[in-house]
Amino acid sequence: MEKSDFEKWANSTQIKSVAGRTIEVPGAEFLAYFLIHKKERSPSRYPDIQAIKQDIKMGSETLEEWVDYDGKTLHVCDDCDSLGNTFTEHLGEAAGLAVVNRIHGLNEADWMKIPEIPGRNGRKTLDWNYASDGKDFIEMEAKGAFTEKVDRLAEISGHKASIKTKKKDSSKTCHPRYNQRALRYGTITSISKNPNSLLTVRLVDPEGEDYDRNPHDARILKRLSWASWLICQIAGRTQFSVALQNRLAALLRTNDLVSFNKLSLLGGTGKPMEGSQFIDRFFANRTSSKELQSAGVLTQFDKEHLLFIGLSRRWMLPIIRQRFDEISKLNFEPRSKATQLDCVLSPHQMDTKFPDVPVEDLTEDGNLLRFRRKAVLHQSAGGMVFGLVSKFG
């Protein structure tokens, strides 16, 4: 870390709280950053749940092939002599996010790209790699390196120079209504074969950009954009997802988010949506986990497993009621849990998408089929829940 550069920052105390220290990152948090790669940069890369599954599957296979976990840290497999650039890039971003998020109290929902709203009153979107903690804008440029020794600075000098000079190529015309420059972090992650060395993240200090929204509004917009993206994956085009998309479009067109605070989403009749009763119905009709209080969707993964993607229940009421202060403060404990999943499918889904799932223990409930399966689920810091579900009990 370039100590002299960061000491001038207003949040230098928070930076010092992680600099030079060993940081424990739960596996669920690291997997969320590594496996579901760059949805923040381009949400269109994930048009449906199948695209998410492909990235999770490819990322899982890559981790198993190139990296060992010894219960303490990650290191490169003994029989691996090089790592692909794509892998080191993903690794660098996952580790960089884990560090920067701890400095500013962020999670993956804070890095979501705000959609561009076309038209006369629309706004162009800002770059993917910025977040907001409600007080400051935060940017991150991440690099990764496979080094012989993680403490050998010469092996990462090229990445450091690249981060330092990139600010010269990334200038843009902006309208600094709030005249607030972002805090931009450069992170360089080093990994080696040595099982006695820890995965190491270094911070560099390139210059940040100016933005034309205030940090509080940007945080709300990013988190609602992230939740809207995930709810669309889980629920498709439903009253809930459409109401949230309509509200998000209205928020993107205004400079006055305060007037929408605590103004509930509107249902199909134009009346405010119900709260707890709607949430209960939403959970009752979808695959859910009682222990992790989440609801979501199933998709095929491999011969023995289904994949579950879901969202924590704690997101639902603040979104419906548009309670911006609660949305801004939502954070979750990253954790992994072996549990039972309450699975819900329609007969058509069972016949066309899941014909290889045993049907002996199915229970018919109106036009739904219910069954329970063992699962290992991971909850991210943003409240996304995902994991593999056994097809056979």
List pLDDT tens digits, range 72-128.
888 898 888 888 788 888 899 999 999 999 999 999 999 887 665 555 555 444 444
**Percent of residues, the chain, with pLDDT higher than 90:** 40
pLDDT for residue 181 = 67
Pair of tokens at residue 183? 């805090």
1-10, 170-179, 286-295, 357-366, range with the lowest pLDDT: 170-179
Residue 137 is inside which H or E element, if any?
Answer: strand 137-146
The mean pLDDT of 47-61, rounded to a whole number, is: 80
pLDDT for residue 49 = 80
Query: Among 1-5, 158-162, 218-222, which range has the highest average pLDDT?
Result: 218-222
Round the average pLDDT of the chain to a whole number and report it. Answer: 83
- Cα 94 to Cα 68: distance, rounded to the nearest angstrom: 16
Those residues whose C-beta lies under 8 Å from the C-beta of residue 32, and which sit 6 or more positions away, are: 108, 334, 378, 380, 381, 382, 384, 386
pLDDT for residue 213 = 75
Beta partners for 288? 295, 342
Amino acid identity, position 262:
K
pLDDT for residue 12 = 79
The mean pLDDT of 281-309, rounded to a whole number, is: 94
Selected residue with higher pLDDT from 213 and 223: 223
- The three-state secondary structure class of 267 is coil
pLDDT of 274 > 70? The answer is: yes
Instruction: Sketch the domain layout of the chain as residue ranges.
Output: 3-213, 218-390
- Cα 153 to Cα 147: distance, rounded to the nearest angstrom: 10
- Cα 272 to Cα 322: distance, rounded to the nearest angstrom: 11
List pLDDT tens digits, range 318-332.
999 999 999 999 999
Amino acid identity, position 377:
L
Nearest to 289 by CA among 385, 199, 176, 356: 385
pLDDT for residue 14 = 82
- Cα 307 to Cα 305: distance, rounded to the nearest angstrom: 7
pLDDT of 198 > 60? The answer is: yes
